[in-house]
Amino acid sequence: MTSNTTTTAAASGTWTLGDMVVNRIGLGAMRLPQTGTALVPDAVPRDRGQAIAVLRRAVELGVNHIDTAAFYFSSLRSANELVNSALAPYPDGLLVATKVGPARDAAGRWAPHAMTPEALRGQVEENLRQLGRDHLDLVYLRIVHDHDRFAERFGALAELRRAGLIRHLGLSNILPRHLEEARAIAPVVCVQNPYGIGAFPEQDQVQRLCGEQGIAFVPFYSMAGTRREDGASGDDEPAINVIARAHEASTAQIRLAWTLHKGAHVLAIPGTGDPVHLEQNIAAGAIRLTEDELAQLNALHDRTV
């Protein structure tokens, strides 16, 4: 994989997220607590010093948008605690986003999803404690199943926003109708959904809808494509390999660059706990794909959906 230690997150451009200007390349914290590819009870804890070093290096390289959650943890490590330890007191201009909805028990097993307003408030307070904050910059309501009472749950977060515990609200893993319903309750500054080459057509619809409404679209699994939790370990698509060689880049970097080319409202939060991968991800923000390369990648995207 190509690494470029001189490239900073500023090369990706900026977007105003709520009232905070962020670089379009950020950092997802899911992989900081463990070396595994997903949040599972038997994930191997990551070296604490390495995780903290990655966070600090990210900020040095201009990352000012970090995505975390209280349910990102392994048997020894918590993403929120690592973020707090590495970066507090938090520098001006750093946006730390978190999310509520899903829950895991102390052993790391996914617990029944308590989505009552009281439970959501408890999750917000848990994130506040772990991050050492008196308010949260951005909180996503993550949808686990397409269920009823969505308005009640988003309304509970809107109340916490009015109370000053939350600065901005977002939605995660949603359908287009959720965005319309939520915006009737409170402002929505961003949507975080799975998206990358080969994403399902409804995700293209959500991405376009966000762009039309001036809302940030923050994809997860952007480098993995249809592999999702399996990560971006290699690529068997000839077109992506050819384009990667032309840019002296990895296929993961090309996938990430394609996502950023979908619009100025698209922000990336590639997750890693590896310092080399961090710099590669940030360098992807400087890759400028040609019209012909974009056409090839768009055709691949349309073929694989």
Query: Which one is catalytic: 72, 140, 195, 221?
Result: 72
Whether residue 72 lies in the annotated active site: yes
Burial, 22: exposed, middle or buried (Cβ in 10 Å; 0-12, 13-18, 19+)?
buried
**Active-site amino acid positions:** 72
